[in-house]
Structures are given as structure tokens and as C-alpha cells.
Amino acid sequence: MRKNLLLSLLLVCSTWVFSYAQDRKVTGKVTATEDGSGLPGVSVVVKGSTSGTNTDSDGNYSINLPTGNVSLVFSFVGTLTQEIQVGNRSIVNVQLASDTKNLQEVVVTAIGIQREKRGLGYAVVGLDAEDLAQRSEPDPLRALSGKMPGVNITGGGGAPGQATKINIRGFNSLTGNTQPLFVVDGIPFDNSVNAGGSGGFASNTGASNRAYDIDPNNIESVSVLKGAAAAALYGSRAVNGVILITTKAGSKKARKGLEVTYNSSYNEETVSALPDYQDVYMQGSNQNYNGGFIGNWGAPFPGEVDRINQEVYGGRSRYTKTNSLYAFGPNKGKPYPDGTAEIPLRARPNFCAAFPSLCDEFGNGVPIDLVPHDVVGGFLRKGSLIENGLNISSTGDKTSLNASLSRMTNKGVVPTQEGSRTSLSFGGTAQLTNGINISGNVNYVNTTTSNPPLGAGYYTDYGGFGNEGSIFGRLFYLPRNFKLNEYPFEYPLTGENLFYRPLDNPLWSVKYNRSNSTVNRAYGNMTLSYDIAPWLSFLVKGGINTYTDQRSRFQAKGGVSSPLGFVRKDTYGFTEMDYNALFTITKDFGDNFSFRAIVGGNANQRSTTRLVVTGTDIISRGLNNADATATQIVGEDSRTLRRLYGVYADMQFGFKNYLYLGLTGRNDWSSTLPVSNQSYFYPAATLSFVLSEALNLPAIIDNAKVRAAYGKVGSDTSPYSIFNVYPLGTAYRNYAGQTFYNATASNTLNNAELRPEFKSELEVGMEVQLLKNRIGIDLTWFSSDAKDQIVSQRIASSSGYNNKVVNAGWINNKGWELGLSLVPLRLNNGFEWNSNVAFTRIRTLVKDAGPQGEIFLGGTGLSALGTIHRTGEQYGQIFGTQNARDDNGNLLINRDTGLPFSLPSAQIIGNPNPDFTLGLTNTFSYKGFSLTALIDWRQGGDMYSATAASLLLRGQLANSVDREGLRVIPGVYGSPATYAPVLGGDGQPVKNTTGITSFDYHFSNGFGAYGQDEVNVYDITTIRLRELSAGYSVPKRFLTKTPFGSARMSVSGRNLLWKAPNMLKGLNFDPETLSSFPDSNIQGFDLGAQPTTKRLGINLTLTF
Amino acid sequence: MNILRKTYKWLLTMVMLVTLGSCSLFDLDINTDPNNPSSANFALLLPSVELGGVGFFEGLNQNTHGFMGWLASADTYDLTFTSYNGTWNGFYSGPMKDLEEIIVAAEAQGNTRYLGVGQVLKAYFFSNFVDMFGEVPYTEAFAGGYASANINAKFDDDKDIYAALIKLCDDAVVNLNKTSPIAISGDLFYNGNVARWRKLAKTVKLRLLMNSRLDNPSAAAQIKVILDEGDYITTAADDFQFKYNRLAVPDGRHPWYQSSYVSANNAFTYILHQPMFEMLRDDDPRRPFYFKRQTSFTLNPEDPTDASTIPCSQLAGCTYAYMALNPTVIKELYTDKGKAYTATDRAFLSGFFGRDRGDISGVPADVDIRTVPGTYPAAGFYDNAASRSGNRGAAGAGDGISPIITSWMTKFYQIEAILALGIAGDARAIFEKAMREQMAKVVALGLSSDPNAVAPTAEAVDTYVNLILARYDDAPNNNQKLNVALKQAWYCNYGNGMEMYNAFRRTGYPSDVQIPVQRIRNFPLRLPQPAQETSLNKSAPQTPPAFDSPAAAIFWDKLKFKFQ
């Protein structure tokens, strides 16, 4: 809180720059009551005149006064204003106490303008450095998770740097972007994932979203503009809300003198949980061992044979310990020793020649013990997260400088998996002698990730995609008796892949196959401002944000998914320029009326380039360069360019200090729309009424404010959506060597009559502080309508096109956001318990999914399983196949198979949207100790889990060990031809009595991956201990003999405990996962990507 | 006023800096796609049509082989409303859309050659499409981007489409007979040879008439006109076929080659046992060209792993099962021929590792054991010895063919016309020619794709041809003779499942294809119309009959075959 109060922009506070030569001089220092530190930027005004000054960065001021008995008024946002009679003094020192009334807190709003909360008619939430730093989380988005009402954040998975999805107040687009605009130090900051050219979710889920380039330890503050009214000034791109980040380098917070801060963290990272595997049955099917199978439906492990024979078969030898026979030599046909089987790799071509020690002289594989192995746990490793940062800030009279350097390395839980981020930044402000204020900063970030193939494993088996040898295609589903971590995984001389089936061995993939990304990003900005008159200032700000992501994917020769091996170089470049020029007018009319206005213009240009070259057939093993391959194909060489400019005005009228009316308007011109529709205007109005100032409220109410806002945001589309094109194909060479160049009409029908899309939003809210700020309530209700959206609508292909770009659709987002801050306990000895609640309940309703009534987005590779938007339903439903049932809901069972069967068309089988989310942060502090725990709770929402489906199918889970009897699926007999129950002689449905084996129950059309999609949908209500941090700040008195100004140590943990009670028992699958990159609208699927991790670490912060 | 002057000076400087430095920022006329051409000429579109058309053909080829007892692909008829979403969508938005653009533009420009070629291609592909799906959008298709856009194309009656396609063939002949200064380029089938395109036009018409002969009283007369004129595909040089290349990158090899030979994970489905068994029994000279053995090791049914790898080991009712250990098979192939069944024979027979029709079992680790396609039509390996097929990467040939309409197919049409429609001709002589033409192509492709391939002796070919002709002669009536001929067509048309599937639905021949051991649905009389089209297209029939119910039969299918 205190920091918020101190936050200050020179822009706002430097209204008084010029003092006129006067009669006498008074100097002094303004300090904060709380800690005695100098307060910079405090306005010092001679009462009743227009002359005044500001304190410098140490809080010192000097002012010339006219003769006579004058008073000085010291005011500073967030503090109580003081008026002091100077008398004869030449030194006047003042202490300003912070105004505990929360409403005077300052928040950053559009264009970086700081405002008192009291005047705002909309909700803004903010977080400070201490809410984000050193929380065992290198991803700035995930560090925000659970802390802000109205904001939903979903991590994509557990790979270092893996992308994260963030949504503010629901979803505003059916097929387009739903990610908010990021603004760092006043300049837009691209947060794309840029999947595409380098492969989709099937081939690499490890891609980052580019907000990952921000080090959470370098963040000074985060402010989230949620509604249309709050964001209107950002224009088109704010339709999904805005995340405003102020970095330490971009911060204008001035501290006295020189401060050097060093922070360091070390965390250990492990996989968050593993399934409860069964270790009773081995690989095979129908209780027969088969060393070549994937599933675990084979005979019992030899160690279990006696027990099962005894317990189930009354001592009869239903099972034996014989599982292999010799195939060659004198023992041909004779069994391997009890409890062993032939090493399953023997069946692979040339195995005995390559591994003579694993075969006998006749070509039989050596016997191996049939015992269960910890396949997954033995494969994954302990990862780590190391963060180090150095921040230097120095403040002089007229200048301040801030430099920081940080480095993060994150070793993932998969062997060889690694990510890193190195950032350098330098920023400063200066007040030049001619009265110009100048500020700016430059930043450089280098972010790298390096992963073995991580594609979502689902695609291998069910989705119909090759997934380029993902280790997650197999790892979790391998036979329990398979000694993955000790068997050889490559042929010694050739380095070719070796596995018991012709699939890529995870160990081989880890050793030879990679997906690398190196991002070099530079961004910076410069601001010049000048106060033309006491009531008028001018500011111009410009910035550039540019990066190049050099990706390289390669797979060695000799694998299964890519036998020839390949090298794919993908270079993606992005550059954004953004300029703003604006006038700020601040004028009071008498004591009762205040007026402030911003009038400005904005110009923005974004350009991208992408070059994807794939070289196939690697010539020299280990040389992973495109030119060292037999054939290279340029898959993509593209560029895009888009521009947008706009003019805007933002006015606020204040009456007394309790009623504020805000009016904003903006007109944009976008290059991406047809010429006739390029220009569009959108307004917003806000109202804020501070009850506690206007009325005499009971004493327990410290503050009360009600607010309302209505706003509209217009939005353009992606470039080149207007005209139809004929993409060129890869040149075809026929059998005779003739070359045929070719082109094909695009499958997407573009639209030359597109109009901008608009979102309008109404929000009302109230903020109340009670009982001397022990209770703070910030409640908001909102309803937004995104209409006339530009969607790529799936149309019947008989039209000649698969998609049509149209203005269509209507999404309504309605919701409640509640922020509660409580101080349940505050003792005189300094003990304090703080509690913060962030509650979000959003309903995103698709009121119109366009003329077809629905939009199927797919997302799994299958044509009947995926995300669908349907008119009248909530956003993004899970669509898939369903078992046939009778009118009473009984499953219909095929009498021949004893299994259920599918309805003739797919249905909506789940709603992935949560009922609500709640984040609860409790902080206990006592003297230098503090303990913070963030627990979050996601209630409801469904997910199709391919992990569950596969583990069931493969007979892996501990809860599937009951296999010896037959099972009868509850239901009635039905006809697969008519989908109606088959009636018995009495005209009544007939109960199913057909028994099936546990293998058939899970393996065929029953309850596993081959069953109908609905059986693999689970409610993913989750309660999670997301963050835990316990720290100790060493008292200053212990540090007096040391060079340190302060020292703090803490222990922090992340994702330490979680419980998803409604998921499949024993699955232990953390449902916080994405089924696609965050810029996609697919939701509600776990497709078997890397599971989440947990971290536990220690942190140290020192200042000098 | 000093301040004011200073202010303006600064303001002016700043504004100038911003505007001068970025005046282009206000130019919004930049929305033309710099990455893709805004138009394409015929020579660029035609290869897309032809390549896409072949892709469509091969997309259905395996399943129709499955329906007809050749491959374990959809051989239990477990088809659903989602099975052909991709096939259908790709057909309309891919090659046929580009073809439509060619036809519309060629017609507008009076470019008669491209127009004629476009019309033939449309007639062929749509006839194939209708044969598979029945009523489909035709007259209103491709209208999504037209000035009066229609994204809900009506479904036309299959019979009406057939009539329109026959007309299209006639129009194509007229157009191709016109003189035109513009040569056809970008043609992967006939390299712009107009005469061959004209022959194809007449052949497609012949095919349409033959398919619909039971529904069309005038078919016989029209067929006779085409046969008498003789200007249709009669020699191998005229064959409407696609020949693949040998390139590994981008992989342009025969799709069966790609799945059987490139990766260590042989992803090709099982070849069914019946054709393997019969070709062994009859000493069919094509056998080593059709099937490639991978193993000579005999699995041990006592060993648990082997036991559950052996075909049909977990299923009752198989005819062929694991041939190497099946006494009935051994009797017919060896004992009955007076030959002893030696260890060498067993090793040989162990390589014929496929499946019985309708064996629904899961997939064991047998990709190094399964019999895979040989040199015909995929240009894989000749079966001179058992060896592992997979993991060949860029090695091997793969420049096989998709036999779409060949000279032997037209001969089988002719045989059917003689035997069933009473058109004059020597069916037996034509039958012999058809067999020899087909075998010549099989052998030629084998010799060019595998240096180890050995051409069968003339004696072996003669023996086989005479065996079949004897069966033909023994057949008591024209119907049974047609059955013998179409059984031979069943072997000859390996590589073109649609041709077998059409003949079977038209005639019920060959009548001795193994009855599936298990089937999930009945025999498909057409393919299920995909849900994606029917749910998105408001004009689509909302309650289409099940694909295996008599109501689903194509208009020309009077047999409406059903397993009893």
C-alpha cells in the first residue's frame, strides 16, 4: 500500500516548475511520517498564488516567497495535505502522513497516467513488486495467478517457459485473439506465441508466449485495466483488457541517493504428481503376456501369480510363471526360467548382432526379470530454477537512473530441458534546465528454451497427426515391466533409435532431438514532456519493441517418426513502433469544480517477418544445419505490416471531492479494414460518487464509493483478411523430373466488406473500507457484449471454401468480481494477519454463433472432438461422441459385444468454463517475519483428459487391478441400427447381462480412449496451494556494522499441494494445462502434454 | 511571453520530429497480401487439381479395398459420420474448387482445351464422388465466393448428377475437338495430349453408362456406340493413371510405399489372406509383385507373446488364420498338389502374414512381420526373399502408379457389355487380352522399381491365363462367366478399390469373397455422408439413411447387397 502511495509520475506532479524571482527564500525537506524518508515530487504552493515548486528526489525544496505572512501548502497524492504558516522561518521541514483512506490511492491507468482511485468510475487492480518477486515463479503471468479478481490465468504445462493463457473478464472473440494487450513502460509489448511455422501443439508444446521476456523480479508494479471504459484510450487492442507493467527501469519512483539491490533464488523443481500405477499385471492383452504390446492387460507379474491363483482360483494354476519360450537352438520351445521372459528388444531387427551380450549364441534374447519398474519417475529428473538479479538506482537533484541486470536459468524435469532469461535494462529521468522533462529506458532480453520433443502425446494414438516423436506420446503409458531407463535405446554404431516397438524411444529423443528457441529482444522508449502553463502540459512518447525468435528444431536420422531426420530453422521477427503525443489540461474552477483532460493522438505500426526452412535427410550425423541436409524446402517466407492511428480525448469533471464524471472518446483508422470502414469511433463514460465525502456515514465506514461506467471499444482484424489469394504450393517434380509450379485457391473466403467489431461494456461497482481499514471491499458487476465480430466461420466445404471471414456473432460476458482485503488480527505486539480474497465469477454466453448457429474449432485433430461455440451455450464447449442411451438415461448395450455404442452424431459433452475461481492470500507478519500462502480454488468446469483415457486404455492405473472376473456394464440392450432399446417379450427393455472382460471394458468401445469421448470428461474442480512464502527481514540494527542496508531471506514454494477431487481416482493429473497455445480459442482438453511441476526454494535479497 | 515563445518552439520541434520521422505511419494503403498471389493461371491451377484429385482417389482407395476383401482397412464397416469429413471437405475446397475456377475462366475466355480438360476431370471425379456418397452438392456447389454467394448448396439427386456428367463428357469431346492455339501446360496425366483427353472423355462416359446400365434402358445402345467407335482407352499408352516420383523430400512416392517402406514403423494396414492364398494356390505370376514377405520365422503358438501376435489367435471363425500352421491351407497349397510341406515351405508360408477379412483384433507388435505391398502398384520390393521392408528412408523406388482407368478396365467393361447387355463381341478373347495387358504392366513396373525383380516366364503366364480361361469356359452361363471375369478383375484392379467396389455393387461379383469373420455394420452401400457437411449445410438432408441400409444404395445399385 505504502508503495502505491509513493508512486508518482513527474507528469502529474511537476505542474509547478517555474518559480518567479521573489523576495525571500525558504528551504526545507519533506519527509514521510512513517519512515522519515524524503518524499520527492511533493507540490509546494504558496497559498493563494500561482507560484510553487516541487521537492526534489530527496524531498528537498527551495522556494522564494513574497513578503508578508504567507502559508505553504504541501500536497502529495496519497498523503494528507498540510498547510503551514511560514512566519519568519527560512527553513520549513514537513512530515506528510499517508492518507489511510484507500480511495486516494494512486493507480496507473491508460497511457501510464496516474490517477487517484476516487475519481475512477471503473475497476482497476494493481499488484506491487513484493507480490510478484521471489515466488519461485519465473513466468510473470503465472506469478499473477489467483491474485486479481476478473483475471483468469492458465499455465500451459511444466516445461520451462511454456506458454500461459490469460483472460480478463471472459472471452471476447469466437475465433480471434482473446489475450489482453500488454503495455510495458507505456509501450505495447507483444505477447504472441508465434506457433505456426515451427509446428503446432502436436509437435512442440514448449513454445513460450513473449510476456515471458519480462522478469517478474524486475516488475515495479502491475495494473490491470479490465473494462471497456478503462481501456478505451488504448483503442482497438484493448478489447480484451490491458495489463500495464511498470518495470523498475521504467519506474519514476525516486529513492534517495544510491541504492543497490541484489537478489538471488534457488529452487528445486519436480513433477507435481504421477499417477498411481498398478504393479500387478504386465504387458499383454486378455491376461496373456506379450512382450510387444503397449498395454498392461497381460498376465500377472510372476510375483503375483501365486497370490492370484490362491485368492481367485482356489489354488488352481490359472497363471504360471512362464512367459517366454526359447525360439532358437537346443532349448527351442522350452520355457525361460520362472519369473523371467526374453528381453523384449530381441524382436527388433539386428538386435542380437548389435548387442551380442544381450542374446545367447543361438539368437535367443537373454532372460530378464519380470518385475515392476518406476518407468516415469526413473525417467524424469529433479529440475532447478536459479535467479539472480542486481538493481542499481541512483537519484540526484534533477536526475534519476536505474540499471538492472538479471539472469534466470530453469532446468526442467525432463532430462536436458532448459530455459534461461538474461535481461539488462537502463532507465532514467531528468529535468533539464530549460524545463523539459525527459525520461526513458532501454532494455535487452535474451530468452532461450531448449526441449526434447514435447508434443501433446494424444496426437500419436488418436488425433491422426504424427507428433514428431514426442516423449509424452509414450512415457506415461509404457508397460510396467519395461525397464526403460536401463535398456539400450540406440544401435551402437549407427546411433539409430531402438525401442521394443517401432516408436521413438523417449531416451533416444532426449539425446538427439531438440526444439530450441533463442529470442533477442530490445525495447525502449523515450518521453519528453513540458509544462506550457501551470494548467497545460504537453507530452510526447515514442517507443520501439522488437525481437527476433530464432527457432531450430531437429531430429536425428534413424528415428521412426522422421526416419531421415530433419532440421527446421524458423526465424520470426517482430517490430512494433508506437507513438503518443498528448496535452494534459488541469484546471480547477473555484473550490467546487475541477477539470482535467487529455487530448492526444497515437500512431502504431507492427510488422512481422518469418522464414521457415526445413532441411530433410541429415547428411552428417550430429550436424544440425539446414545446409547439411539432402533437400531444403522453404516452407514460409512471409511478412506482414499493419498500421493504426487514432485520436483520443479523455475528460474528467469533478464536483467538490465526491462526484466525478469521466468522458472519453477515440477514433481509430486501421489499415486492416476495407477503406470504407477504416475509421471507427467509440466512446466511454464513467461516474464516481464518493459517498463517504458527500454524506455523513456511520463512523465504522472509513470510505465508501460507488461507480459506474459504460464503454465501447472498437477493434480491427488481422492484416490481409480482405482479398482472396492463391497460395503457391511447393513445386512438384514428376517422375520424369519435370517441374510443375502450382497454386491453389485459398480455402478461406476473405471478405471485402468487413466492418470493425465492437465490444460494449457496462460495469458498476462499489468500494468500501470499514473499521479503520480492517475490512476493504471492492465489488464489481459487469456485462459486456462483443458483437459483429470478425470471425473465420467454418462453412460447408461444398461452398468451395472451408472458412469464411464474416462479421458475425455475439458474446455476452457477465460477471462478478470481488476483491476483499481483511485484517482479521492486528495485535499490539506487531503481529498482523492480512487476508486478501480475489473472487471471480464469469459467464461467457455465446448469444449468436453466426448464421450456422455454431462454430466448430476442433483442436484435437479429430473431426468430431474439439471445441465448439454454439448459439445459446457458454463459450467453447467440449464437443465429442456420446454413448447411446434410452429415455431414462440408461446406457444402451450392444448384445453382441456387451459394450455401449455411439450415437450417430457428436454432441456437447462438457462445459470447460469454471463456475467461479477464488484466490485467497493470507499473510501473517510479526516483526521481521512473514508468512504468505496463496490458495486458489477453481470450482467446476470440465476437461477431456487424454491422459486419463490412455492410462485406462493401457491398463495402467492401480484402480484397474480387479481383472479376474467378468464385468457387466449397467444398461439395457439396444440396437446400434435404430439407437432404441431392444424390447423383451414383455415389451419392456431388457437389462444387460452380457459379461465382458476388464480388457474389453477398457480397451474397446467402453471406458478408455477407444470409448466414446464423453467417458473421458471430468469435472476439474481444483483446490491448490499455489504459493507459499516464509521470510525474515533482518532488523536494521543487526546490519549497522555490515555494508547492507537491508537483508531478507525467504523460503518459497509453488504448486506444492493440489487436489482435483472429481477427476479419476489415482490419476493424480494436474488439470491446469492447455490443449493448445494460449492464442488459440481451444479449451477444455488435456491432450497429454508435459505435466505441471512444483518448486521449493530459498531466496535472498540484500540492499547496499 | 518568453515562455510562450519557448513553448511554441519546443512544441513545433516535437511535432515535427514525430511527423517527419514517421510520416509513413499514416499510410494505411498497405493491406495487400505480400505473401500470396492474387490470381493464378491455368498452368498453376491444373497441377493442384490433378495432384489433389489423385490424393482424393487414394484417400478412399484403402477403405474400398477393405470393403472388397483386400485390405484390413474398414473391413468391419465400422464407419461413422466422421469417417470421411476430411475426404469430403478436401474434395470440394481443394481440387474441385480449383477445377471449377479453371472451367469458369476457360469458358469465359473461350479457351476450349482447358475447358475440355476441365470438363473431363470434373466428370470423372464427380462420378467417383457420387458412386461413393450418393446425392451430393453439384449444381450449386462452389458458390461460396460468387457474387450471389451460396454456402448452403443443395444436394442433387445422384441420378441427375449422372445425367449431367454424361453431358459433360459429350461437351468435353466437342471442346477438345475444336482447334485452339493455346496448348495445355501443367498437365501431369497426359502432358497436354488432347487426343488422349478426348479418349478419356469417352471412357468416362463409358464408365458412367456401365455403372448405371441397370437403371438406364438406353445405356446398352450408347455403350455400343462408344465401343464401336473405338475412340476410348484401349491401350496402355492411353491409361488414365498417375505415376508417382521417387523423391523422399517432399515425399512424392506412392502412399502405400510411404507407409510400408519409409519408416521403421510400417504403418500400412494388413493385406487380407484370401487374395494371398488364392494367388499362391493358382500360382499367379503376379504374386511376388503384389506381396512382399518380411519374415521367414514361424511364430510359436505356445509362447505367450507369439500366441497373441498370431493372426486370429483370439478369434474364432477364421478361414486362413496363420497360414503357415493352418492344416486346411497346407492341404490345399501342398498336399492336394502332391507336394510335401517342408520346413522351407513353412518358412516361406510364414511370410504371408496378413489377416482374415473382418479380424477385429488389436494391433500387436508385428510391423516387421506383416506382408506389405510389393512392386505393384506401390513400386516397393519384389518378393524374391523375405526381408524387412521398413526403415528404407530415402532408399527404394516408390514411383508406383494409381491405376485410375486403364485399358484392361475398359476391356472388363466390354466383357460385361457382351455378357450382360448382349452387345456383340468375343468376350473370351477380350478377357485374355485384359489379363495379359494387366500382367504386362505389373511386370514392367516391378522390373523398373526393383533390380531383383524377375519377369515370369511366358510359360508361367500362359499356364495361369489358361487356368483362368478354363474356369471361364467351365462357367455354365453368361452370369457365371461374368463372375469369373470379375473375379479376375478383382485381382487385376488391385490398386483401385473403387473399381472393384462399383463392380460388386452393380453385379454382386465376384461372389466368393470371404465373409467377414466379424463385422460391426452391414456391407456399406455407400459411404456415410460426413457430419461436418451435413451440420454446416442447411440444405443437406437432415436424416440420411444409414450407409448400410437399402435406402442408402446409389440409384444404379439394384442389388443392394447385404450379408445374410
CA angle A979, A983, A988 (to 5 degrees): 120
State the complex-level ipTM. 0.92
| Minimal-distance CA residue of chain A relative to B531 | A905
Spatial neighbors of A183 by CB under 8 A, at least 6 apart, are A112, A189, A234, A242, A243, A244, A245
Check whether B389 has a pLDDT greater than 70: yes
The answer to whether the Cβ–Cβ distance between A747 and B93 falls below 8 Å is yes
Round the average pLDDT of chain A to a whole number and report it: 88
Which helix (H) or strand (E) covers residue B136, if one does?
strand B136-137
Helices (H), A174-262: 228-231
Between A65-79, A765-779, A1085-1099, the lowest mean confidence (pLDDT) is in A65-79
Using alpha carbons, select from A893, A158, A536 the residue that is nearest to residue B7: A536
Chain A to chain B Cβ contacts (< 8 Å): 331
Rg of chain A in Å (alpha carbons): 33
Report d(CA A995, CA A898) in Å as an integer. Answer: 6
More confident site: A1036 or A302: A302
Which helix (H) or strand (E) covers residue B462, if one does?
helix B458-474
- The burial class, CB within 10 Å (0-12 / 13-18 / 19+), for B338 is exposed
Give the relative orientation of helices B427-449 and B478-492 as an angle to the nearest 10 degrees.
Answer: 10
What is the Cα A648 distance to its own chain's centre?
Answer: 31
Q: Which cell is B366 given? A: 508385428
Q: Is residue A868 within 8 Å of A967, Cβ to Cβ?
A: no
The answer to whether the Cβ–Cβ distance between B45 and A643 falls below 8 Å is no
More confident site: A166 or A228: A166
Between A124-133, A277-286, A986-995, B68-77, the lowest mean confidence (pLDDT) is in A124-133
* Residue in this structure with the C-alpha cell 486370429, named with its chain if needed: B312
Q: Is residue B176 within 8 Å of B112, Cβ to Cβ?
A: yes
Could you say which residues from 943 to 972 on chain A have a Cβ atom under 8 Å away from some Cβ of chain B? none
Between the CA of residue B152 and those of A870, B92, B138, B292, what are the distances in Å? 18, 13, 11, 47
Q: Which cell is B340 given? A: 510335401
Check whether B4 has a pLDDT greater than 60: no
Predicted pLDDT at B2? 53
Spatial neighbors of A969 by CB under 8 A, at least 6 apart, are A891, A893, A898, A899, A900, A992, A996, A1001, A1006
More confident site: A485 or A231: A485
More confident site: B41 or A1039: B41
Classify B283 in phi/psi space as left (phi over 0), alpha (psi -120 to 50) or beta. Answer: left
Check whether A11 has a pLDDT greater than 50: no
Report d(CA A957, CA A968) in Å as an integer. Answer: 20
SS3 of residue A301 by DSSP: coil
Check whether A426 has a pLDDT greater than 60: yes
The answer to whether the Cβ–Cβ distance between A725 and B37 falls below 8 Å is yes
In the chain, the amino acid numbered A867 is T
Check whether A117 has a pLDDT greater than 80: no
Q: pLDDT-derived band of residue A41, with 50, 70 and 90 as boundaries?
A: confident
Round the average pLDDT of chain B to a whole number and report it: 93
Q: In residues, how long is chain B?
A: 564
Check whether A249 has a pLDDT greater than 80: no
| Minimal-distance CA residue of chain A relative to B90 | A797
Q: Which cell is A471 given? A: 516423449
Q: Which residues of A touch B520 (CB under 8 A)?
A: 976
Report d(CA B409, CA B203) in Å as an integer. Answer: 10
Report d(CA A28, CA A979) in Å as an integer. Answer: 89
B544: cis peptide before it, omega within 30°? no
List the single best residue of A611, A631, A798 to mutate versus B (max B Cβ within 10 A). Answer: A798
Helices (H) and strands (E) counted in chain A, each on its own, are 13, 55
Predicted pLDDT at A562? 87
Cα of first residue to Cα of last residue in chain B, in angstroms, is 106
Could you say which residues from 990 to 1049 on chain A have a Cβ atom under 8 Å away from some Cβ of chain B? 1003
Q: pLDDT-derived band of residue A464, with 50, 70 and 90 as boundaries?
A: low
Report d(CA A343, CA A373) in Å as an integer. Answer: 15
Q: What is the pLDDT of residues B402-447, one digit of tens each?
A: 999 999 999 999 999 999 999 999 999 999 999 999 999 999 999 9
Eight-class DSSP state of A625 = -
Chain A nearest C-alpha distance from B564 (Å): 16
Q: Which of A347, A434, A1003 faces B362 most closely, judged by CB atoms? A: A1003
Q: Which cell is B88 given? A: 469430403
Check whether A313 has a pLDDT greater than 80: yes
Q: What is the pTM of this model?
A: 0.88
Q: pLDDT-derived band of residue A103, with 50, 70 and 90 as boundaries?
A: very low
Report d(CA B193, CA B507) in Å as an integer. Answer: 34
Q: Which of A720, A722, A742 faces B44 most closely, judged by CB atoms? A: A742
Q: Which residues of A touch B392 (CB under 8 A)?
A: 563
More confident site: B11 or A772: A772
Report d(CA B273, CA B381) in Å as an integer. Answer: 19
Check whether A250 has a pLDDT greater than 50: yes
Q: Is residue B60 within 8 Å of B498, Cβ to Cβ?
A: yes
| Minimal-distance CA residue of chain A relative to B100 | A800
Spatial neighbors of A848 by CB under 8 A, at least 6 apart, are A808, A809, A810, A871
Percentage of residues in chain A having pLDDT higher than 90: 57
Q: What is the pLDDT of residues A175-184, one digit of tens each?
A: 888 999 999 9
A299 touches chain B (CB under 8 A): yes
Rg of chain B in Å (alpha carbons): 28
Check whether A23 has a pLDDT greater than 70: no
Q: Half-sphere exposure of A144 toward its Cβ, with a 13 Å CA cutoff?
A: 31
Percentage of residues in chain A having pLDDT higher than 70: 94
Task: Give the other-Cβ count within 10 Å of A468's Cβ.
Answer: 26
Strands A164-168 vs A94-96: parallel, antiparallel or unpaired: unpaired
Q: Which cell is B302 given? A: 505356445
Could you say which residues from 586 to 605 on chain A have a Cβ atom under 8 Å away from some Cβ of chain B? 603-605
Report d(CA A501, CA A489) in Å as an integer. Answer: 11
List the single best residue of B78, B148, B249 to mutate versus A (max A Cβ within 10 A). Answer: B249
A676 touches chain B (CB under 8 A): no
Q: Please, what sign has the CA dihedral across residues A110, A115, A117, A121?
A: negative
Predicted pLDDT at A8? 35
Q: Which cell is A567 given? A: 532440421
Which helix (H) or strand (E) covers residue A805, if one does?
strand A803-826
Classify B286 in phi/psi space as left (phi over 0), alpha (psi -120 to 50) or beta. Answer: alpha
Report d(CA B548, CA B520) in Å as an integer. Answer: 11
Check whether B471 has a pLDDT greater than 50: yes
SS3 of residue A568 by DSSP: strand
Q: Please, what sign has the CA dihedral across residues A555, A556, A562, A564?
A: positive
Report d(CA B468, CA B466) in Å as an integer. Answer: 5
Using alpha carbons, select from A606, A639, A638 the residue that is nearest to residue A191: A606
Predicted pLDDT at A483? 94
More confident site: A173 or A201: A173
Instruction: Detail the DSSP E strand segments found in B209-339.
Output: 240-243, 291-292
Between the CA of residue A1067 and those of A347, A476, A954, what are the distances in Å? 32, 11, 13
Between A122-126, A242-246, B175-179, the lowest mean confidence (pLDDT) is in A122-126
Q: In residues, how long is chain A?
A: 1104
More confident site: B272 or A533: B272
Q: Which residues of A touch B137 (CB under 8 A)?
A: 796, 798
Between A976-985, B57-66, B113-122, the lowest mean confidence (pLDDT) is in A976-985
Q: What is the pLDDT of residues A57-81, one digit of tens each?
A: 778 888 888 777 788 888 776 666 7
Predicted pLDDT at A253? 58
Using alpha carbons, select from B486, B462, B527 the residue that is nearest to residue B62: B527
Q: What is the DSSP string of A377-425?
A: HHH---EEEEEEEEEEEEE-SSEEEEEEEEEEEEE-SSTT-EEEEEEEE
Predicted pLDDT at B142? 95
The answer to whether the Cβ–Cβ distance between A745 and B97 falls below 8 Å is yes
Report d(CA A147, CA A921) in Å as an integer. Answer: 8
Torsion of CA B219, B220, B222, B223, to 10 degrees: 110
Q: Is residue A479 within 8 Å of A294, Cβ to Cβ?
A: yes
The answer to whether the Cβ–Cβ distance between B40 and A747 falls below 8 Å is no
Give the phi and the psi of residue A1101 in degrees, each rounded to 5.
Answer: -130, 130
Q: What is the pLDDT of residues A335-367, one digit of tens each?
A: 999 999 999 999 898 999 999 999 999 999 999
Using alpha carbons, select from A912, A933, A913 the residue that is nearest to residue A923: A933
In the chain, the amino acid numbered A786 is A
Q: pLDDT-derived band of residue A555, with 50, 70 and 90 as boundaries?
A: very high
Predicted pLDDT at A17? 36
List the single best residue of B8, B15, B31 to mutate versus A (max A Cβ within 10 A). Answer: B31
Predicted pLDDT at A874? 96
The answer to whether the Cβ–Cβ distance between B38 and A723 falls below 8 Å is yes
Q: Which residues of A touch B367 (CB under 8 A)?
A: 501-502
What is the Cα B487 distance to its own chain's centre?
Answer: 18
Report d(CA B149, CA B147) in Å as an integer. Answer: 5
Helices (H), B310-362: 327-333, 343-350
The answer to whether the Cβ–Cβ distance between B305 and A434 falls below 8 Å is no
Using alpha carbons, select from A294, A469, A500 the residue that is nearest to residue A1010: A294
In the chain, the amino acid numbered A515 is S
